[in-house]
């Protein structure tokens, strides 16, 4: 049985299919909370054959019974938020009356995007491969204590003065250091002025709402964006995002105590992908890469970039399970492996120098170049799993693959996803 209140996060480098799984769980939820990241995320939901891509709105929003909360830990592009609300309303989802955005959420402006683009350009071949949505610079402003928050819109004089200071600060850097085009204060202030009343109307105190929901024993889902290996502290630094994407950040990102949740669920893709640069021990470089990319439609929902593909890496997953306190996993995209003769699972790393088996993940850049994966090879299945909703109907070797992952990781796989549709889902034990 699922205990009330859950945190669902990605266990790999993002794009594990969190959106689909969160949408699946959300049918019984009262509140869905996005608590970190920004519109760098991209979650594709397919409901009754209709595809919806969300970047900032919580993935549970397609159920009309849910109230969507965007909490303090998120960095928010006001324009993007409103465009996304409009897009969903065109699809006949009522959003405006079901969304509350924390007044403490920091805002993303054009200068954050320009800085992101300029920095990536200057880094050249050493670039992070960011989504260029201004997320890193917006979090920097928050930590540097010069950021502007949604609630600052209540004090227009303060807001406009602080914005001017920030524009001047960034234009100096853009022009003098990056040799990059400056941003226009007038353009930014005019845009936000037009959105101001709308934003104030949908803003509120998310921490208070959650406190009340706790008293009322409501079911709340906290949804993580990105993935654990992109976490600013525990990920493959510096090739990470700028927020804490592991499960523990639900508390600081939403303003509710950590005891509010007892159940942490990880979403794992049956293989690995990453978009952007950085270490990837099990990356596939032969023709299987383009085969799986095409079959799994592995193109970023935010930037359209091709995702890099690799085999499932249980060394990284063990670390992910530890740092997130996962009690169960949801395994997605098993159907993408249909028809492969053999499937590899990385069960350890060997040191290139000494052939030494190592179950620890590297922590510093150079260490990543010193290891290569040790694989266990599993027999594939020659039939389709696509759309299967009953575990017993899975091919024998598909079940064996799932059992073996559970055995290596020592944790149950409670949901298996067999296709992008909401209905392509096997429930085993939740
Ligand atoms: P998220 O960022 O973790 O929400 O994942 P994305 O939505 O960015 O990427 C996952 C992609 O895989 C999307 O295109 C989903 O529609 C799709 N997807 C999710 N689960 C499955 C599955 O079990 N099988 C297949 N074939 N596609 C899936
Ligand atoms: P969802 O929620 C996959 C990656 C970028 C880049 C790094 C830093 O859809 O799983 P950023 O723009 O955050 O400064 O980029 O993080 N990245 C993601 N990769 N899925 C995501 O979100 C991502 N959000 C950021 O590609 O490597
Ligand atoms: Mg995604």
- Residues 2-28: tens digit of each pLDDT: 558 999 999 999 999 999 999 999 999
369, containing H or E segment: helix 365-369
- Ligand 1: lining residues by beta carbon, under 6 Å: 10, 14-20, 42-44, 46, 296-297, 301, 332-333, 335-336, 417-420
**pLDDT for 143:** 98
Quote the percentage of the chain above a pLDDT of 90: 92
Tell me the mean pLDDT in the region 376-393.
97
pLDDT classification of 64: cutoffs 50, 70, 90:
very high
The answer to whether 168 is a known catalytic residue is no
Taking the C-alpha atoms of residue 274 and residue 177, their distance in angstroms, rounded to an integer, is 31
Centre of ligand 3 to C-alpha 226, Å, is 7
Closest CA to 357 of 380, 383, 376: 376
pLDDT at res. 378: 96
Helix orientation angle between 135-143 and 110-123, rounded to the nearest 10 degrees = 110
- Per-residue pLDDT at 54 exceeds 50: yes
d(Cα 220, Cα 30) in Å, to the nearest integer?
A: 6
Tokens of 408: 């290596």
Going by alpha carbons, the residue nearest to atom 14 of ligand 1 is 44
Q: Which residues, 6 or more positions from 123, have their beta carbon under 8 angstroms from its beta carbon?
A: none
pLDDT digits (tens, 9 = 90+) for 194-249: 999 999 999 999 999 999 999 999 999 999 999 999 999 999 999 999 999 999 99
CA distance linking residue 285 with residue 246, whole number of Å: 29
Predicted pLDDT at 430 = 65
Nearest-angstrom CA–CA distance, 55 and 69: 14
Q: Label residue 358 by pLDDT band (50, 70, 90).
A: confident
Active-site residue, from 39, 43, 63, 234:
43
Structure tokens at 422: 């909401």
Question: Which residue has 């052939």 as its token pair?
Answer: 355
| Mean of pLDDT values over 263-281 | 97
Q: Provide mean pLDDT across the span 156-161.
A: 98
3-state secondary structure of 318: helix
- 352, two tokens: 């290139």
Say if residue 379's pLDDT is above 90: yes
Average pLDDT for the chain? 96
Q: What is the DSSP letter of 26?
A: G
Give the pLDDT score at 419.
98
Separation of alpha carbons 290 and 284, rounded Å = 9
Q: Residue 3: what pLDDT? A: 56
CA of 196 to the centre of ligand 1 (A): 34
Mutate to test the pocket of ligand 2, among 55, 127, 275 (most ligand atoms within 8 A of CB): 275
Crossing angle of helices 156-176 and 110-123, rounded to 10°: 20
Model-level pTM? 0.97
Q: What is the dihedral of CA 33, 39, 42, 46, to 10 degrees?
A: 60
225: Cβ below 6 Å to ligand 2? Answer: yes
SS3 of 172, please? helix
* Exposed/middle/buried for residue 296 (C-beta within 10 Å: 0-12, 13-18, 19+): buried
Best CA proximity match to 4, nearest among 344, 430, 397: 430
Is 8 exposed, middle or buried (CB count within 10 Å of its CB: 0-12, 13-18, 19+)?
A: buried
pLDDT band at 357 (very low <50, low <70, confident <90, very high): confident
264 or 361: which leads in pLDDT:
264
pLDDT cut 70: percent of the chain above it: 99
**Which pLDDT does position 353 carry in this prediction?**
74
Confidence of residue 1 (pLDDT cuts 50, 70, 90): very low
At 93-117, the pLDDT tens digits run: 999 999 999 999 999 999 999 999 9
């Amino acid at each position: 049985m699922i205990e009330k209140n859950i945190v669902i996060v990605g266990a790999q480098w993002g794009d594990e299919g969190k959106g689909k799984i969160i949408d699946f769980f959300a049918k019984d939820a009262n509140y869905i909370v996005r608590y970190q990241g920004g519109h760098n995320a991209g979650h594709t939901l397919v409901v009754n054959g209709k595809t919806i891509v969300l970047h900032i709105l919580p993935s549970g929003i397609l159920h009309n019974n849910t109230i969507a909360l965007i909490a303090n830990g998120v960095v928010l592009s006001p324009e993007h938020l409103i465009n996304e609300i409009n897009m969903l309303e065109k699809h006949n989802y009522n959003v405006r009356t079901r969304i509350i955005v924390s007044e403490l959420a920091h805002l993303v402006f054009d200068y954050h995007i320009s800085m992101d683009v300029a920095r990536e350009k200057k880094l050249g071949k050493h670039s992070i491969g960011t989504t260029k949505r201004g997320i890193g610079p917006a979090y920097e402003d928050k930590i540097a204590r010069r950021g502007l928050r949604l609630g600052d819109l209540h004090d227009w004089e303060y807001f406009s003065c602080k914005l001017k200071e920030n524009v001047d600060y960034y234009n100096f850097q853009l022009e003098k250091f990056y040799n990059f085009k400056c941003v226009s204060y007038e353009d930014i202030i005019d845009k936000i002025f037009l959105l101001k009343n709308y934003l104030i109307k949908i803003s509120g105190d998310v921490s208070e709402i959650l406190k009340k929901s706790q008293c009322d024993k409501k079911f709340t889902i906290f949804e993580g964006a990105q993935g654990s290996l992109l976490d600013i502290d525990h990920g493959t630094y510096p090739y990470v995002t700028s927020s804490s994407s592991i499960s523990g950040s639900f508390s600081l990102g939403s303003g509710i105590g950590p005891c509010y949740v007892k159940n942490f669920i990880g979403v794992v893709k049956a293989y690995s992908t990453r978009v952007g640069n950085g270490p990837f021990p099990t990356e596939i470089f032969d023709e299987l890469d383009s085969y799986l990319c095409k079959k799994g439609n592995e193109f970023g929902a935010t930037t359209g970039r091709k995702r890099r593909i690799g085999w499932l890496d249980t060394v990284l997953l063990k670390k992910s399970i530890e740092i997130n306190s996962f009690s169960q996993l949801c395994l997605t995209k098993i159907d993408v492996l249909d028809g492969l003769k053999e499937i590899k699972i990385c069960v350890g790393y060997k040191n290139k120098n000494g052939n030494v088996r190592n179950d620890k993940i590297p922590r510093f850049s150079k260490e990543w170049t010193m290891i290569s994966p040790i694989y266990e090879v599993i027999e594939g299945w020659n039939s389709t799993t696509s759309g299967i909703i009953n575990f017993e109907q899975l091919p024998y070797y598909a079940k064996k693959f799932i059992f073996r992952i559970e055995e290596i990781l020592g944790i149950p796989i409670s949901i298996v996803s067999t296709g992008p549709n909401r209905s392509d889902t096997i429930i085993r034990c939740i």
